[in-house]
Structure formats: C-alpha cells, structure tokens
Amino acid sequence: MNAVTPVLQTGAPRMALVGNPNCGKTALFNALTGSRQKVANYAGVTVERKEGSFTTPEGRRVQVLDLPGTYSLRARSPDEEVTRDVVLGRFKGEAEPDLLVCVADATNLRLVLRLVLELKQVGRPLLLALNMFDIAKHRGIEIDVDRLAAELGVPVVPTVAVRKAGTVDLLKHIDAQVVDLALAAAQGVSQGANTWHEPSAEEVRATHREADRIIKLAVRPPTKPDTWTTRLDAVLLNPVAGLLILLTVLFFMFQAVFTWAQPAMDGIKAGFDALAAWVNGAMPDGILRSLITDGIIAGVGSIVVFLPQIVILFTFIILLEDFGYMPRAAFLMDKIMGGAGLHGRAFIPLLSSFACAIPGIMATRVIDNRRDRLATIMVAPLMTCSARIPVYTLIISAFVPDRPVAGVFALQGLVMFGLYAAGILSALLVAFVMRRLVWRGTVEPFLMELPAYKVPDAKNVVMSVWTRAKAFLQRAGTTILSIMILIWFLSSFPGAPEGATEPAIDYSIAGMIGHWLQPLVAPIGFNWQMTVALIPGMAAREVAVAALGTVYAVGGGEENVTALMDTLGHSWSLATALSFLAWYIFAPQCASTLAVVRRETNSLKWPVIMFVYMLTLAYLASLATYHVAASLGWA
Amino acid sequence: MHISPRPADLPAGPDHETVPADARPLSRAAKGEVGRVVRVGLNGALHDSLDPDELERRLLEIGFVEGARVEILHEGLFGRDPIAVKVDDMRVALRRREAEAILVTRWQPASLHAVAEDRRS
C-alpha cells in the first residue's frame, strides 16, 4: 500500500470496524449509524456485509463497514477471510478502508491487543475504541488510556456504545483523523507500508508476550471480578440442569414462534384476502385482475405472512446472543449435534424450522463455519414445518381410522408423530452423510470464547430485529414474488375452452405438465389430479390442499375440507395416501424456502442441490411406501 | 476422571527436556483442576481434525499460551466433553480432542469443594 491514497476526492471516507467476536462491535456500529445501515452479502461469498453511514459533529459523512469478528488477520473461515481481505484492501469490489477502528471489550483486553499489534502492521490509519468502558470502570479495572496509546503507538478512545453520549470522543477522533487523512492526501504523503504477513506460531507467541507486557504497564486488574458470570454458569453450564434449562428456553421460544405469531399471521392473511376481494369487486373479470389478485397480492401475502414468525424468532435469538447465552447453548448441544456431524449451534435453526424453514435458514447465521452452516441449511427443510400440518391433517383424517392403539394412544396421533420423527431422523441422517461423505476429513474444531453475560440493550435488540425483518422482505421478496407470478401463469394459461367439463386448471400449462408427468409418478401411486395439484403446491406446501379441492372440483378449497376428505377417501387407495404422506416428508414443495436458500448461500448451486436431493428422497420414500403398502393389500 | 502422570505418553520433541515430568494434556483434566500451560502444540504429532500447526496457532490466538493459568470450570454431560476452561481472566469452550494439544503442569484441586466432587465421580 505504498501508493498515495486520494482519500477525500473519492467521496465519503471509509471506515472499517474490526474486533474480536463478542466485543460489542455491532452495538457500536448500531450506535454510530442508527437506522442508516443496510445488510447484504459480500460479492461471491456467503458472508454478511453490514454497511452504514453517519455524520460527524463537524458535518463529515463517513461510510462504515462492520467486518466479521476475528482474533487474527490470519483468516480461518470465509468470514475472517473477508475481514482480512477488506483490511488489506485486496477484496475485489470493495474499496480500501481509509481508517480502521479496532473495537475492544475494555473488560477483556488480552486477545484484542494482540490483534491491534497485527493490524498495526497493515500500515493504515488505526484507532482503538475501548468499548464497554463503563462496565470496566464499574469492575474496578483501571486503564491508563494515554499509556496504552503510547505503548501501542495507536490512538485509544473509550466508548460506551449503549449510551447516548458514549461515542462523542470517538466521533471527535474520527473528525481529527479524517482531517489528517485529507492533509496527507493533499500533500501526497503516502500511508505506512504494509508489512503484514501471516504470523507463524512463534510470531503469535511474540505478539502475545508484547500484549501482556503492555497490559502490565497500562491496565490494573479488576478489584470486583465478574462473579455474575461465574454464578450463572454454575447453573447454566451444569451438565444436567443446564440442558434442562436450554430445552425449556427452546421450548418456550418454539411455542412463541408457533402460537404468538398466529394472530398476527391470521391478521396479515385476512388483510391480503380483503385486499384481493376488494380488487376483485372493483375490477372487471379478466387476466389483469387474475394477475393482480391471484399472482401479485397472493404472492406478496405469502411472503409477508412469515414476518411475525421471523420477528419473534429473531427477537429471541438476538436477546440470547446479546446476553451471551448462544456459545453456552452450543457448548451444551455440541456432543448431541456432533453425532450427526452438525455444529452445536445448529440446534436453534433446526428447532425454528419446525415452525417454518425460512426463519430457520435465516437463523443459521449464528453458525460461523461455512460448511457447518451449509449442512444445517440443507437439512432444515426436512424438519416438519407448520405448512405441512394442513396436508398431513387432511390425509390422516381421510385415511387413518380414529381408533385407540394399546389403550392410550390415538392411531391418528401416532401417524402424525411418526411423520415428525421421520423428518428429524432423515435430517440427522442427511447431515451425517453430507459431513462424512461429501466433506470428509474436515472436522471443524469446537473452540469458542464464553463471553461474560451482559444485560441486552433494548435499543440495540430492536434495531437488530428491524434490520433482519427488512432484509427478509427485501431479499426474499423479489425472488419469491417472481416465482409466485410464474406459478400463477402456469396454472392460469391457457384458460378453459368454451363448454369445458373439467376444472380450468386441467387445461392450463400446469395441467398439461401434470398429465405429461403422469407416467413418471405412476410407480409411486400418484394419479394425474395429484400431480396437477402439486404444481401450484410448489408455491407453498399447504396450497396443495386448496389445489386438490380445485382439481377434484370440490370447490371452496380449504373451507370445504370435509367434502374433499370424502372425495379423496373414495378416489385414493390407502397405499396412494401413504405414498403422498411420505412424499410430503421430503419433497421440496416450497418455492419460498428455495428462494431464501438462494439468497442466504448467495448461489444457485445450493438451492439446486437441495431441490434435487429432496426430490430424490421424496420419490424413493414414496416408491417404497407405495409398494410396501400395495404388497400388504392396501392398493 | 483421575489424572495420573504418564510421561511415556508425551510426544517426543526437541523441547521435551523443558517440559516438567508431571506435565499432561489438558484433555485429561477433570472439573475443578487448576494448572499452568507449559506447551501449546502437538510438537509434530498428528491430530485427527486439523493441521497441527493450524491447531497450535488457533489455540494460541484464543489465549492458550505458555504460562497461562487454566482451570476446568465445566464439563459436558456426555463423555465429559466439551470442557469450559478459564484461561487467565477469560473463559473458553473446547473439545477434549483439541485440548490434547495443550500440556499443563502443577495440577491442584481449586478448592475443597472440587476435591469432594472429584471423589464422588
């Protein structure tokens, strides 16, 4: 980086936040930028990119990038590679940062000072922000800020991200630094040379010793150590009590996502239905009306309806994360999840997927390692989501007799339980196969800091949840909407001819595809009506119920479930019904999930792999189920 | 889990002489035990999950350096794995498999409470 960097000529100066995980970096980012931030992915990788901007007291606009947390520039994961490459100014498509701000948890300086020493080698303007300075003071940790700055050779500023005036000093320093940068650029002074190279183990030891020496000089250890963390951990990390508490927390969270979201979801659904009804009344019948009501309004509605679940789930996740519980949950679950080759942190996303795979897949962001995260994303849709329930209920009540088993269990309930169990077992099995066969020999070590517990800051939680909700609507919205319109098109064109006797969908492209696919699904016992129903059922799993109503011309769709049950009971054999249930355990019948996987993995490859493997499993499971059932004489 | 000195298990290496005779891997420590890190790294021995040099650097970067005070705070339910370790003034969770690469000396029970717990198990 010997070249002269023209700083102010190229627009707002760019600042990058670097720091250890759990140092309060994101809280500082939120405090600086407020709502002026946007979340996206870095070009070509699955790593989240958070950028925002703020105006300094002297009226300068500064762009700020919140880089993934790391202990070293020596990158160990794709996230840390992003941090390294952006800091070094060699990330394709990212401008070089003009100023690095290293964020430190003032109560835990040892590891971050080593990082500061490494960052110094990069030769860019650097500033150390001692965050949570109030907590450090409260514990009696005395930091000689001037001495620290002198020993490190880097300006040091205390900050309190969660307090209103907590960033004033930092902003002043940024103003001063930006003036320096402008002067340096105007005078053609070059930045320091970049002498950073990947440190060897010996060099890591040497910087550790240097950091320890500086700490001895500038930091007095706490007079009131953090006993709360010790006391809480005694319970929360207790092998038995800790697991029970974790399960209780997760059960409560799952319940909340499942039940608290329902009124809001019903409200949203009713709102969109009312809107569609209003449009239907206000517009003449025709293609345009159908596009607006069945395509666009129904499509947007099907996205927005997930918003309450996402908001509730992320409120829980962010609260637990800010509190410092997430690494503990991973600690408790590591052995159990590890058996299937999954990371301890995969537990929460997988549990959320019982409500809906979409928030579940979004929640995989708590997993740092890319492969662990991808494995979790790939199996999340196998967990029985709530959209399968209407389909399961319909088929079970139409075909499974309502009689007790062994006196205490209801047969229908047992079948339902079996479907859930099949989902969980297959998810664990698929994860196991992926980790053992596809990504052989790369067992990520479980090595993570257990940060001190902290009371979550309400403002920070609200802001983080809002960012997530916004990202969901923006990112999933575009893809899901276009798929919905495509499915509407397939099911509506061409229209039924004059004097048609069959339902309109039968004459559409979806109907043609259904008939055309018929020979393929005959071996698994599906008739053409089922195949046709599965095409609009791609939009969302529960849509298949309404679509079956349409093809069987029962009418009224979901409202007329009893009539549909009767019709199905007469026209399907038991073997066909069981085959259909087996299909629904595995089939990738959800365009929204695939769209979110596309967004979250930032590639087409993973949703395609997901679609193919789930479809294959669905076909094989249905084939086996149908033939076993047929051989038992249920055909 | 009782820790018995097994010097024969120590990987041979150039700095073998500098390691005290009672040093043993952190992976064999039980809850409540306190010690001092004398060597980080496998000294050339192979590890089943990571490149040994990579593992050594990761352990160093998260605070396991020679001279650090370590104390086993918690153990997982199944196979007493993973373990939560206090490293100087911070806490780190890791699996025993990775803790193998950390040699520790001067074991002593942290308190009488820990001794009692040790006897119970």
A280-295 pLDDT, tens digit per residue, is 888 888 888 888 887 7
Q: Cis omega before residue B82 (within 30°)?
A: yes
Q: What is the residue type of A263?
A: P
Cite the annotated binding site of A for GTP by residue number. Answer: 19-26, 44-48, 66-69, 131-134
DSSP calls for A129-197: EEESHHHHHHTT-EE-HHHHHHHHTS-EEE--TTSGGGGHHHHHHHHHHHHHHHHHHHTTPPPPP----
* A110/B88 Cβ within 8 A: yes
Q: Do B77 and A450 touch (CB under 8 A)?
A: no
Task: Nearest by CB to B92, from A239, A334, A450: name it.
Answer: A450
Q: What is the pLDDT of residue A247?
A: 85
Which helix H or strand E contains A369, and what residues bound it?
none
Query: Given CB atoms, is A240 within the 8 Å cutoff of chain B?
Result: yes
Question: What are A192's two structure tokens?
Answer: 């320091």
Characterize the bridge pairing of strands B102-109 and B24-25: antiparallel
At B48, is the pLDDT very low, low, confident or very high (cuts 50, 70, 90)?
low
Maximum distance among all Cα pairs of chain A, rounded to whole angstroms:
92
- For residue A249, the tally of other CB atoms under 10 A from its CB is 16
Sort residue B33 into left (φ over 0), alpha (ψ -120 to 50) or beta. Answer: beta
Residue positions counted in chain B: 121
Residue partners of A367: CB distance under 8 A and separation at least 6: A343, A345, A346, A349, A373, A376
**Closest alpha carbon to A303 in A483, A103, A52:** A483
ipTM score for this prediction: 0.78
Instruction: Give the CATH H-level superfamily of domain A8-225.
Output: P-loop containing nucleotide triphosphate hydrolases (3.40.50.300)
Residue type at A592? S
Residue A153 Rama label (left phi>0; alpha psi -120 to 50; beta): left
Tokens 């003034």 map to which residue? B89
Report which secondary-structure segment, H or E, holds A315: helix A307-323
All structural domains of chain B, each given as residue ranges with its CATH number in brackets, are 20-120 (2.30.30.90)
Q: Which of residues 315-334 of A touch B (CB under 8 A)?
A: 327, 330-332, 334
Which pLDDT score is estimated for A367?
Answer: 78
Check if B50 contacts A (Cβ < 8 Å).
yes
Q: Do B92 and A449 touch (CB under 8 A)?
A: yes
Q: What order do you get walking across the sheet with B33-40 strand by strand?
A: A447-449, B90-94, B83-87, B69-75, B33-40, B102-109, B24-25
- Reported for A285-288, long-range contacts at CB under 8 A and 24+ positions apart, including other chains, are A287/A492
Is B1 near chain A, with CB under 8 Å?
no
- Cis preceding linkage at A519, omega within 30: no
Nearest CA distance, B7 vs chain A (angstrom)? 25
Closest residue in chain A to residue B65, using alpha carbons only: A205
Query: For chains A and B, what is the number of CB pairs under 8 angstroms?
Result: 112
Given pLDDT bands bounded at 50, 70 and 90, which one contains residue A540? Answer: confident
Q: Could you tell me if B14 lies within 8 Å of chain A, comparing CB atoms?
A: no
Shortest Cα–Cα distance, A381 to chain B (Å): 28
Chain A: closest CA distance from residue B93 (Å): 5
What's the confidence (pLDDT) of residue B113?
44
Q: What percent of chain A has pLDDT over 70?
A: 92
Alpha-carbon distance of A71 to B87, in angstroms, equals 15
Q: State the pLDDT confidence band at A535, using cuts at 50, 70 and 90.
A: confident
**Higher pLDDT among residues A45 and A145, named by residue:** A145
CB atoms under 10 Å from CB of A212, counted, come to 17
Within 8 A by CB and 6+ apart from A259, the residues are none
Nearest Cβ partner for A447 among B62, B65, B77: B62
Whether B15 shows a pLDDT value over 60: the answer reads no
- pLDDT number for residue B73: 95
Using only the alpha carbons of chain B, give its radius of gyration.
14
User: Which amino acid is residue A355, in one-letter code?
Assistant: A
Alpha-carbon distance of A199 to A207, in angstroms, equals 9
CB A229 within 8 A of CB A453: yes
Higher pLDDT, B11 or A168: A168
Report CA torsion sign: A245, A246, A252, A255: negative
Kindly list the strands in the beta sheet with A126-131, ordered across the sheet, starting from the edge strand earlier in the chain: A37-41, A48-55, A61-66, A14-19, A99-105, A126-131, A156-158
Q: Contact B57/A331, CB-based, under 8 Å?
A: no
Of A150-164, B40-54, B94-108, the poorest mean pLDDT is in B40-54
- Would you call B82 and A450 a contact, using CB atoms and an 8 Å cutoff? no
Using the predicted structure, report yes or no on whether residue B17 has a pLDDT greater than 50: no
Chain A (81-110) residues lying within 8 Å, Cβ to Cβ, of chain B = 108, 110
DSSP, res A296: I
Looking at residues A552-560, what average pLDDT do you find? 54
Half-sphere exposure of A346 (CA within 13 A, CB side): 28
Tens-digit pLDDT profile for residues A226-247: 888 999 999 999 999 999 998 8
pLDDT at A596 exceeding the cut of 60: yes
Place of tokens 């609507």: A473
**Nearest CA to A537 among A591, A486, A479, A586?**
A591
Q: Do B49 and A331 touch (CB under 8 A)?
A: no
A74:B57 CB<8 A: yes
pLDDT score, position A498: 74
Place of tokens 């971050």: A112
A118 contacts in B (CB within 8 Å)?
Answer: none
Radius of gyration over every alpha carbon of chain A, rounded to an integer in angstroms:
28
Binding site membership of A: which residues?
Answer: 19-26, 30-31, 33-34, 44-48, 66-69, 131-134
Chain center to CA of A43: 18
More confident residue, A620 or A528: A620
First to last CA, chain A: 74
Instruction: Note whether A269 contacts B: Cβ–Cβ < 8 A.
Output: no
- Widest CA span of chain B, in angstroms? 40
Is the minimum CB–CB distance between A335 and chain B shorter than 8 Å? yes
CB A374 within 8 A of CB A601: yes
At residue A496 the predicted structure's pLDDT band, cuts being 50, 70 and 90, is confident
- Are the Cβ atoms of A205 and B79 closer than 8 angstroms? no
What are A392-421's pLDDT values in tens digits? 888 888 898 888 877 777 888 888 888 988
CB of B62 within 8 Å of any CB in chain A?
yes
| Best CA proximity match to A31, nearest among A129, A149, A124 | A129
- Residues in chain A with CB shorter than 8 Å from the CB of B59 are 447
pLDDT greater than 60 at residue A555: no
User: Is A74 in CB contact (< 8 Å) with chain B?
Assistant: yes
And the tokens for A571?
A: 């026209």
In a mutational test of the B interface, the residue from A114, A115, A450 whose CB has the highest number of chain B CBs within 10 Å is A450
Pseudo-torsion of CA A184, A190, A191, A196, nearest 10°? 180
Provide, rounded to the nearest whole percent, the portion of chain A with pLDDT above 90.
Answer: 33
pLDDT at B4: 40
What pLDDT does B49 receive?
Answer: 64
Nearest CB to A331: which of B54, B60, B76? Answer: B76
* Mean predicted lDDT score pLDDT of chain B: 77
B91 chain-A contacts, CB cut-off 8 A: 229, 233, 449-451
| Integer Cα distance of A207 and B57 in angstroms | 12
The mean pLDDT of chain A is 84
Annotated binding site of A for Mg(2+): 30-31, 33-34
Q: CA nearest A527: which of A551, A556, A503, A546?
A: A551
Q: Which of B15, B26, B50, B61 to mutate to test the interface with A (most CBs of A within 10 A)?
A: B61
Is there a contact between B98 and A208 if contact means CB atoms under 8 Å apart? no
Q: Among the listed ranges A173-182, A202-211, A386-395, A553-562, which one has the minimum average pLDDT value? A: A553-562
Coil/strand/helix, residue B88: coil
Higher pLDDT, B96 or B2: B96
CA distances from A554 to A183, A245, A260, A485, B40 (A): 77, 48, 33, 25, 72
Comparing CA positions, the residue from B77, B65, B18, B114 lying closest to residue A202 is: B65
- Domain spans, chain A: 8-225, 241-391+406-443+460-471, 477-631
**So what's the pLDDT on residue A476?**
59
Check A239 against B53: CB less than 8 A apart. no
State whether A334 and B53 contact (CB < 8 Å): no
Distance CA A267, CA A271 (A): 6
Taking the C-alpha atoms of residue B95 and residue B85, their distance in angstroms, rounded to an integer, is: 10
Q: What is the pLDDT of residues A308-341, one digit of tens each?
A: 877 887 898 889 888 989 889 889 988 888 888 8
A633 vs A72, more confident = A72
Q: Which residue of B has its CA nearest to A118?
A: B61
Q: For an interface test with A, which of B31, B37, B46, B74 has the most A Cβ atoms less than 10 Å from its Cβ?
A: B74
In 3D, which of A92, A110, A364, A86 has the Cα closest to residue A219? A110
For residues A493 and A36, give the distance between their C-alpha atoms in angstroms, rounded to a whole number.
Answer: 44
Contact status, residue A20 vs residue A69, Cβ threshold 8 Å: yes
The residue in chain B having the minimum alpha-carbon distance to the alpha carbon of residue A77 is: B58
Strand partners, B71: B34, B86
pLDDT (average), residues A19-44: 83
**Residue A486 identity (one-letter amino acid):** L
- The whole-number average pLDDT for the span B93-102 is 92
According to the model, what pLDDT value does residue A178 have?
A: 78
Q: What local confidence, expressed as pLDDT, does residue B108 receive?
A: 53
CB contact under 8 A, A447 and B49: no
Name the range with the highest mean pLDDT among A510-519, A546-555, A587-596, B95-104: B95-104
How far is B47 from chain A, CA to nearest CA, in Å?
11
Residue in chain B closest to A333 (alpha carbons) equals B76
Q: Which residue of A has its CA nearest to B49?
A: A443
What is the distance of C-alpha A529 from the center of its chain?
A: 36
Which residues are CB-contacts of A194 (< 8 A; sequence separation ≥ 6)? A1, A88, A121, A122, A123
Q: Across the interface, which of B65, B76, B88 has its CB nearest the CB of A239? A: B76
pLDDT at position A564: 80
* Tokens 């009224």 -> residue: A556
Query: Rounded distance, CA A579 to CA A629, Å?
Result: 8
